[in-house]
Structures are given as C-alpha cells and as structure tokens.
Amino acid sequence: MRAPTGAVTIRGVAAPPWKIKVVEPIALRPEPLRRRALLDAGFNTFLLRSEDVFVDLLTDSGTSAVSQEQRAAMELGDEAYAGSRSFFRLEAAVREVYGFRHVIPTHQGRGAEHLLAKALVKPGQLVPSNLYFTTSREHVELAGGVWVDVSIAEAIDPESTHPFKGNLDLAQLERVLAAAAPERIAYVRVEACVNMAGGQPFSLANLTGVRELTRAHGVPLILDGTRLSENALFIKDREPGESERTLPELIAAIAALTDGAIFSSKKGHFVPIGGLLAVNDDGLAQAARELVVIYEGFPHYGGLAGHDLEALAQGIREATAEPVVRHYVSQSAHLASLLLERGVPIVVPVGAHAVFLDAKRFLPHVPQDEFPAQTLAAALYLAGGVRSMERGIVSGQHGTDPYTGLELVRLTIPRRVYTQEHLDYVADVVTEVYARRELLPGLRMTYEPAHLRFFQARFEPRAAFLEAASAPAATAIDG
C-alpha cells in the first residue's frame, strides 16, 4: 500500500528501505539452558551471554546494522594519529547536518558527557534537564554538579497520551534559572526522545521556549542528540505547522537552537562504537580539546580508529533519510500495537526506539522494592530467549532518595536488524508471560555495585521463579 507521502507500508509498517546482504545466525536455546543462563547471570539480563539470547532487545546502542556505504567508507580510514583525513570528513558531515562549528570525537557518548561535565560543571552548579539519563547524570555529579529534573509531569505518567512528553516545564525552568542563573547554572540539558521516559520527544515550540529562557539568563543550552532524527520525525508528524519541512531541515533547526550537543553515535548514527561532542563556542571547544587528550586520545580521533570516523561520517548523513527513520519508528509502533491489542500495559504514546512495558501494571502484586521490571525482564528471557532491559528502580534509584518513578522494561529495537517476524515473535512471548503474570514472584538484590548498579547487580528470586516463568509456547517453538 502507498501512503500519502509516497512511502510504502506493509500491514501498517513502513517498508524497510533496504534489503539484507549479510546475516548473523541466531537460535533459541532449549529451556533448561536458558534457566542455567539466567541463574548464572544473577537474573540480570546485562550479564547474559549473547549466544544464549534469541532476540536481543537489550539496547539500540552499537547494535545497528551498518550500510554498504559505511563499509565502503571504512576502507578509506586514515589511521594517522594527527591530522587524519577521516577526521576532516567527519567534521564536514557534522557541520553539514547539524551546523556545529567544532567537533570532538569520543569513544562513545559518555566520553563526550565526561568532557562536557569536566569543562562546564563547577561544584555546586545545577544542570536542569528533561528527566535524566544514567551516565549523563553520573558525570555531572562526579564533577560536583547537581541534577535538577524540570520535565513536564506527563513525562513520568505512562498512561498520559501527551504527544511531547519530552518537553521541559518552562515555568519550572524559569523558576530554577531565576533563582540560580547565571553563576549557579552549568548548562541546561535537553534530551531528544527522552530515553528514561520511554523515548518521548520534545516539541520545537518547547525547545524554542527553552532557548529564549537560556538566552535571557545567559546560560548554555546543550542537546543530547542521541535520538535526534526520531525526535525530528515526531515533530514533523505531530507538531502543527511542521509537516512540510524535510527531516534534514528539522534536524538542522533543532541543532541551531542549541549551543552544542553530545551524541552517542552508537544509536542513530548506525556505528558499533563512537560518540561526539559538537559545540559552537571556541573557548568550550578549546577546553574540550585540552581534556580529550587526557581521557580519549588526540582531538582528531578521540578514542576511535580512522575507519570508525569514516563509518560515523557516513552514518550521520544516513540518519537524515526520512524513509530509514520512518521505518525504524514504525517497527516500535508495530510491536506496540500488537501488545495493546492483547491488553498488555505499555507506555503510550509509543516512543522512538523501543516499546516500554509498564511493570507496575504488568505485575501489580510485586512491590517496587522487589524489582518488578527486573523480574519481568528475567521472565521474558526465560520464556522465549528475548533479552530486554530494566528501566525502573534498579536503574533509577539514586543515593538515599526513595524511588517511586517509572518501573519499565525496555524492548529496544536495534536499527535495520530485525524483521517483522522477529517482532511478532516477541509480542507472542510477552503475551505468554502476561497470561501467567500472577505466578511471578519478585526478586531480592544480592549484589549492589557502587555506581550505575543496573549494569552488574545480581538478584535471586523470592519464590519458585523459574517454574512460574516457564513458557509452553516458547518451548513449542523451540521443539
């Protein structure tokens, strides 16, 4: 079927604007092996081996498929330590697509966050932001800064259908800036398609409001552009008056409202490794270049190989192609619509890169301090070899503050990797677990790392978990 835009859709999903040339084998392990793997991993999906996973929806980070153009560009990688041609091609791509004058490559997004925090955050200074991201907040705090959430209330309401849950609460931001700017504000951070809210976008009108406030109070505005292309597409589709603008125009318009950005290029730029700090201010760029040689490498490679820089430069351009971004976003929408049809509680509206299961409503009998989202992620793996990620109290609990926020399981879709059949299978596994949800007990944490505990924490079940999570349907597929 042909949609009004000329794009082809297949059963509601935008047709993939690519075909598959190289494949990687995957297989569903028999259930006894999945049980063993889950026990060995301490019920933490981060600690599973990839060979034990069938459909891997842990993350969209570094898991995209590269294009033939990226592979071809990699052949041109200039591995010179300094002055590499590959760096200048990357710089040209960033200037062309985002318009930022200075580019400092880093090994991945948190490398850029580290440089930014070191360069801009002084002890006691505030960083107001729409919700938070784990590594972004950690780097600000390690530099002595204080994170301030100024997202709109709908951001943490999984049932609110607000189209732009990534918006900042402008009145709240104004209050914070009026009380502290400019001396006690390091910068205002705006994240595109807020990961921890379920991949929810901000509107251009809201970003314009943020720009006016930051300008009036003399503080920098920094974008987390990790999922900028998807945010731009949501603006095109949802924001009145924006449908006629092209995706590249919208991407450039967003970037132009900010003073700089960090990117985890492992997501929307289709590379397995890489990140960027891109800024306009000469002084900030100079400070970042002085820091990058300590933590990442020479400013012309920042911890990446020349061939990585080439793949990244090409990926930045591919990330502006509307059919590519539209297909990706419609994969999330497809999985979400299957789950909604079957009554499974998910975060609405569907975000950019994932479907988020609402574990509080999925497992209402498991109290939040027994880790419902962690429990559910473990159950999905056991039931059908589907790997997902906890985004609830394990990820969000911070210091001694009680955590009462969102309790989500993220089914994250790698870009250009899985087919509609894989997503249909995932929907069946989730439905199977949902049918037996009452049997699932919560978990007890047996090991808690000091930083970013979700990556390596270990758990044990409070009751006979493994029996409850066994899935006849999935075993039948296995047989």
Ligand X SMILES: Cc1ncc(COP(=O)(O)O)c(C=O)c1O
CB 436 within 8 A of CB 383: no
Task: Give the DSSP letter string of 185-234.
Answer: B--EEEESSBGGGTSBPPPHHHHHHHHHHHHHHT--EEEE-TTHHHHHHH
* 264, 375, 388, 431: which one binds ligand X (CB under 6 A): 264
**3 state DSSP class of 173:** helix
* 44, 45, 61, 258: which one binds ligand X (CB under 6 A): 61
Instruction: Output 274 or 461, the one with its CB closest to ligand X.
Output: 274
Q: Is 105 in the site for ligand X (CB under 6 A)?
A: no
234 classed as catalytic: no
Structure tokens given for 179: 């009380």
Task: Give the DSSP letter string of 288-302.
Answer: HHHHHHHHT--TTTT
Q: Is 229 in the site for ligand X (CB under 6 A)?
A: no
State the number of CA atoms in the 13 A half-sphere of 413 facing the CB: 32
* 200, 206, 214, 226: which one binds ligand X (CB under 6 A): 226
Instruction: Output 181 or 352, the one with its CB closest to ligand X.
Output: 352
Instruction: Output 196 or 443, the one with its CB closest to ligand X.
Output: 196
CB 363 within 8 A of CB 375: yes
| Binding segment toward ligand X, per CB under 6 A, in 45-53, 103-111, 333-341, 445-453 | 103-111
- Residue with smallest beta-carbon separation from ligand X: 109
| Binding segment toward ligand X, per CB under 6 A, in 15-23, 105-113, 124-132, 153-161 | 105-113
43 classed as catalytic: no
Q: Is 452 in the site for ligand X (CB under 6 A)?
A: no
Using CB under 6 A as the binding rule, the residues of this chain from 185 to 204 that contact ligand X are 191, 195
Of 134, 320, 412, 431, catalytic: 134
* 91, 224, 370, 407: which one binds ligand X (CB under 6 A): 224
The distance from CA 264 to its chain's CA centroid, rounded to whole angstroms, is: 9
C-alpha span between 226 and 322 (Å, rounded):
17
21 classed as catalytic: no
Q: Is 326 in the site for ligand X (CB under 6 A)?
A: no
Burial class of residue 458, CB neighbours in 10 A (0-12, 13-18, 19+): middle
Q: Is 432 in the site for ligand X (CB under 6 A)?
A: no
| Binding segment toward ligand X, per CB under 6 A, in 76-84, 104-112, 118-126, 156-164 | 104-112
DSSP character at residue 158: T
- CB contact burial 169-181 (16+ within 10 A = b; e otherwise): bbebbbebbeebb
- Site size for ligand X, by CB under 6 A? 14
Q: Is 296 in the site for ligand X (CB under 6 A)?
A: no
* 77, 109, 299, 384: which one binds ligand X (CB under 6 A): 109
C-alpha span between 257 and 222 (Å, rounded):
9
Q: Which residues form the catalytic set?
A: 81, 133-134, 224, 267, 391, 454
Q: Which residues bind ligand X (CB under 6 A)?
A: 61, 108-110, 133, 135-136, 191, 195, 224, 226, 264, 266, 275
